[in-house]
Amino acid sequence: MRNTQKNKNVSISTMTMVALMAAVICVLAPFSIPIGPVPISLATFCLYIAVILLGGRKAFIVCLMYLLIGFVGLPVFSGFSGGPMKLLGPTGGYFFGYLLLTMIAGWFVDKFPKKRVMCLLGFILGTASCYLTGTAWLAFQMNMNFVSALIVGVVPFLVGDVIKIVAAMWIGTLVRRQMNKVGYGI
C-alpha cells in the first residue's frame, strides 16, 4: 500500500512540475522585443530550464502544451499573440524547432546529467536544430534565400541565446539541486 501511495505522489509532483513549467513559458514568452520578422523572447530560456528540471520527455510535453495553448488562440506567443496562423506564419518553423530543441537537449541532459560540457553540447545542438527548422520555414514563408533568412532569423540571436543557455544551466542546476534536497527530484 505504501509503495502505491509513493508512486501517486511522484506522479502528482511530476504533473505539477510539468503544468508549472508550461505556465511559466506561457507567462514569460509573450514578452518580446520585435527586431524584424523574428522577435527576441524568453521562450527558449524557459525551455532550457524545463529540460534541466524535468528531463527531455517532460520538457517535450511542456513544449507541446505551450504550442497547443497558443494554437487554440490564447495569447502566449511573442507579442501576446496566438492562434494557428501564428504557428503557420513566418516564425512557425521556430515553434516546431522548439520541439526538436527539447528532444535533443533533453537527450543529452538525461544521458549525461552530471557532465556539464555534454549538457552544453546538447543545448547547442538543440538550439541549432531549432535555428535550422525556423530558418528554412522563414525562407519559405518570406520568399527569401536560406542565407538571407539566416541573417535575419539567427545571427541577431546568437549572443542572446548563448547568454540564455549559460543562465539556464546555472539557474536550472541550482533549482534542481534544491528540488532534490526537498524530495521533489523528477
The percentage of the chain sitting over the pLDDT mark of 90, rounded to a whole number, equals 82
User: Grid coordinates representing 170?
Assistant: 546555472
User: Grid coordinates representing 99?
Assistant: 520541439
Burial of 10 per CB tally in 10 Å (0-12, 13-18, 19+): middle
Q: What is the pLDDT of residues 56-86, one digit of tens each?
A: 999 999 999 999 999 999 999 999 999 999 9
Q: Considering only residues 11 and 136, tell me which one the structure prediction assigns the higher pLDDT.
A: 136
**Does residue 2 surpass a pLDDT of 60?**
no
* pLDDT confidence of residue 134: 97
Tell me which H or E stretch contains 41.
strand 40-41
> Cα 47–165–29 angle (5° rounding)?
40
CATH number belonging to the domain at 2-181, selected among 3.60.15.10, 3.40.50.300, 1.20.1630.10, 1.10.1760.20: 1.10.1760.20
CA dihedral 60, 66, 69, 74 (to 10 degrees): -170
Whether the CA torsion 91, 109, 14, 17 is positive or negative: it is: negative
Q: What is the pLDDT of residues 122-179, one digit of tens each?
A: 999 999 999 999 999 999 999 999 999 999 999 999 999 999 999 999 999 999 889 8
**Does residue 4 surpass a pLDDT of 70?**
no
* pLDDT confidence of residue 1: 38
Can you tell me the mean pLDDT for 94-105?
98
pLDDT confidence band for 9 (50 / 70 / 90): low
Q: Is 61 left (phi over 0), alpha (psi -120 to 50) or beta?
A: alpha
Can you tell me the mean pLDDT for 48-54?
96
* pLDDT confidence of residue 107: 98
